């Protein structure tokens, strides 16, 4: 193992989707190559070599498609589409035929024909997303898990058995035994086998026993580790008394080794027989050893030695370690920097460094007019120490910029404040690093124009994190809430079209909705209270103002009376009274006459008369 990168698959930009899971096809069971051109007959030795070599790699993607990549050809062989609508969580090859099984966030399990690249069968695996799969040793059963674990019959596609599972999504499933421990009963291929499961955020690995009766659904034993398991490898127990060896790599970078004979129920969780850690050596007296995370571990074919993968994910170091010790804790000392530097030195020998004169002016990307002198690479022995001698004054930033040949006047912004583009950069940096100081500096601005420009210039991917930050700050004191509302207004007006395209917008903004609802609920009551208080305050103020005014004495200080005018006035009144009395008598007489006339008219109409009939005849 030389720990060098042998092949790298980089998909084209417009087809690329994040890789979510991998699975090697069993050797010899890969799809036949396309028949292009004449084919020669292979020798026997050649056939066996090719059959032992792993070639096809199934790659599950975040968009639901599965890619089949040939490592021998170094190119993409085929693409399996039309099976899943969402992220593929796990892919597993069948050990005998060219079948591939996959599960997804869309709750379905798909059986693929790898030769025709078409779906053979598709069925619903769970009520929530299916996260892990495992095929039984005889190839007739399939384990699937979301949170609960189900055992499927692959012929009928029906559930054979249910298991309780874990509280969180299951991340790994694997069979630990090939044959049942009780050899007296006939073996049907599945009953009596043990399998192991691990879940995210769960520090217990559970072991399950497949019984013929359907009563027992709980785990028979469990292994405890220090953190969430990220990588699990085991040696399968093939004989009755052979212990199962388990290597579990945790998120904290430690490796735990277990060795246990599976023989029924065990109440207490089992702890590891041995824990392995890797650290750097402390070279100087000051430096302390730093832990080096273990990324993965696998048992070799002899079941005694281990392959360890540690260091950086971009440049991992692979090492074979044989364990013959009985110690419960082992710390391996490895100088990762030396190994990596040696590798890079070997790798970069073919690169030629150009010869550059000292007179050459090199333009550096950045500020216009910024040029720097080219420095010849100094030898590694010389180390400059930036220690000032006593009495020397430190250079100012302005002097340093002048030394770099940068026009300081161009760099400085009017007023010394950062511009809106730098505000946008600062905001994104603050959101990514969760730096409260930067966020306070940006979000506490009051200028509407600056807020609008900043929101307009910020990248799309930072919109949702900004909304989450604003929601968090809205829950604080009312002063900060009044500032945050301005930012919210700008975000919703400028990025409404982007937000409307998000499928999970309602759960993303749920907290904000609830916050606004609770604030608006009390608005009507508060406005009523405000109105009443305003009336009270104004009345109190008015009454106080009335009390402050001095009372004016309204009695007349001087009254002047004129005698002559009073006498004349009395004579006039007497005359007016006489006239009115005479008028009153005349009116009464007129009214009596009119009444008499009315009476005579009425009598004539009715045919009545004052004269008797005798008198009438006499007149005739």
- Interval 349-407: pLDDT, tens: 555 666 666 676 666 555 555 444 544 444 444 444 455 555 566 777 777 766 776 55
d(CA 267, CA 249): 24
DSSP-assigned letter for residue 444: T
- Worst-scoring range by mean pLDDT, 4-8, 72-76, 341-345, 596-600? 341-345
- pLDDT tens readout for residues 555-592: 887 888 877 655 555 555 565 555 555 555 556 555 66
- Worst-scoring range by mean pLDDT, 130-134, 227-231, 582-586? 582-586
Give the count of domains, the chain. Answer: 1
Assign 546 a pLDDT band (cuts: 50, 70, 90): confident
Q: Given a cut of 60, is residue 424 above it in pLDDT? A: yes
Q: Which of 138, 139, 137, 141 is nearest to 163 (CA)?
A: 141
User: Which residues span the domain enclosing 435?
Assistant: 422-522
Q: What is the pTM of this model?
A: 0.54
- pLDDT tens readout for residues 499-535: 888 888 888 788 888 888 887 888 888 899 999 999 9
- Chain centroid to CA 129: how far? 18
Assign 124 a pLDDT band (cuts: 50, 70, 90): very high
In a domain, 399, yes or no: no
Kindly report the average pLDDT of the chain as a whole number. 78
pLDDT of residue 583: 59
In a domain, 346, yes or no: no
DSSP-assigned letter for residue 177: B
Output phi, psi for 423, to 5 deg: -60, -45
Residue tagged 């216009």 (tokens): 368
In a domain, 503, yes or no: yes
pLDDT of residue 562: 79
For 24-63, b/e burial (b = at least 16 CB within 10 A) is: ebbeebbbeeeeeeeeeeeeeeeeeeeeeeebbbbbbbeb
In a domain, 583, yes or no: no
In a domain, 480, yes or no: yes
Output phi, psi for 514, to 5 deg: -60, -40
In a domain, 430, yes or no: yes
- The pair of structure tokens assigned to 363 is 């333009």
For 224-261, b/e burial (b = at least 16 CB within 10 A) is: ebeebbbbbbbbebeeeeeebbbbbbbbebbbbbbebe
In a domain, 138, yes or no: no
In a domain, 474, yes or no: yes
Our separate counts of H helices and E strands in the chain read: 14, 27
């Amino acid at each position: 193992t030389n720990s060098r990168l042998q092949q790298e698959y980089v998909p084209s930009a417009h087809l690329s989707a994040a890789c979510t899971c991998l699975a090697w096809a069993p050797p010899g069971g890969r799809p036949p190559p396309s028949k292009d051109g004449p084919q020669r007959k292979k020798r026997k030795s050649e056939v066996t070599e090719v059959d032992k070599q792993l070639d096809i790699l199934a790659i599950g993607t975040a968009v639901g498609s599965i890619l089949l990549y040939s490592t021998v050809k170094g190119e993409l062989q085929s693409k399996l589409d039309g099976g899943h609508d969402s992220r593929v969580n796990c892919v597993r090859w069948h050990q005998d035929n060219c079948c591939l099984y996959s599960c997804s966030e869309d709750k379905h399990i798909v059986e693929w024909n790898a030769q025709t690249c078409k779906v053979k069968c598709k069925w619903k695996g769970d009520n929530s997303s299916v996260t892990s799969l495992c095929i039984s040793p005889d190839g007739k059963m399939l384990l699937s898990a979301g949170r609960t674990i189900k055992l499927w019959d692959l012929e009928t596609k029906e559930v054979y058995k249910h298991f309780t599972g874990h509280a969180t999504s299951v991340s790994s499933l694997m069979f630990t035994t090939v044959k049942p421990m009780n050899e007296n009963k006939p073996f049907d291929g599945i009953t009596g086998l043990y399998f192991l499961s691990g879940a995210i955020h769960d520090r217990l690995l559970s072991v399950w026993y497949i019984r013929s009766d359907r009563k027992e659904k709980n785990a028979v034993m469990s292994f405890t580790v220090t953190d969430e398991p990220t990588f699990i490898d085991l040696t399968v127990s093939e004989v009755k008394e052979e212990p199962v060896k388990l290597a579990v790599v945790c998120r904290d970078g430690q490796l735990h080794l277990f060795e246990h004979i599976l023989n029924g129920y065990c109440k207490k969780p089992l702890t590891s027989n041995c824990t392995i850690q890797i650290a750097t050596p402390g070279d100087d007296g000051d430096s302390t050893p730093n832990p080096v995370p273990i990324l993965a571990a696998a048992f070799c074919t002899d079941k005694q030695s281990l392959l360890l993968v540690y260091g950086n994910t971009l440049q991992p170091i692979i090492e074979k370690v044989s364990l013959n010790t009985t110690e419960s804790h082992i710390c391996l000392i490895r100088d990762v920097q030396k190994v990596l530097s040696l590798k890079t030195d070997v790798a970069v020998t073919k690169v030629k460094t150009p010869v550059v004169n000292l007179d050459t002016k090199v333009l550096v990307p950045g500020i216009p007019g910024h040029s720097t002198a080219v420095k010849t690479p100094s030898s590694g022995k010389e180390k400059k120490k930036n220690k000032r001698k006593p009495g020397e004054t430190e250079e100012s930033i302005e002097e340093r910029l002048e030394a770099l040949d940068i026009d300081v006047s161009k760099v400085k912004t009017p007023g010394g404040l950062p511009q809106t583009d730098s505000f946008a950069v600062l905001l994104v940096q603050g959101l990514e690093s969760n730096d409260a100081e930067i966020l306070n500096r940006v979000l506490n601005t009051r200028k509407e124009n600056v807020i609008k420009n900043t929101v307009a210039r910020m990248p799309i991917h930072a919109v949702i994190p900004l909304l989450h930050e604003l929601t968090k700050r809205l829950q604080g004191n009312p002063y900060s809430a009044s500032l945050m509302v301005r930012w919210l207004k700008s975000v919703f007006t400028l990025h409404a079209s982007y937000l409307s395209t998000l499928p999970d917008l309602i759960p993303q903004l749920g907290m904000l909705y609830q916050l606004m609802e609770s604030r608006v609920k009390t608005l009507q009551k508060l406005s009523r209270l405000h109105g009443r208080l305003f009336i009270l305050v104004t009345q109190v103020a008015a009454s106080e103002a009335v009390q402050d005014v001095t009372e004016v004495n309204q009695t007349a200080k001087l009254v002047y009376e004129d005698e002559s005018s009073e006498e004349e006035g009395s004579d006039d009144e007497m005359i007016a009274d006489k006239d009115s009395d005479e008028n009153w008598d005349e009116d009464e007489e007129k009214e009596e006459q009119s009444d008499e006339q009315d009476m005579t008219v009425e009598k004539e109409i009715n045919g009545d008369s004052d004269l008797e009939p005798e008198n009438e005849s006499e007149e005739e």
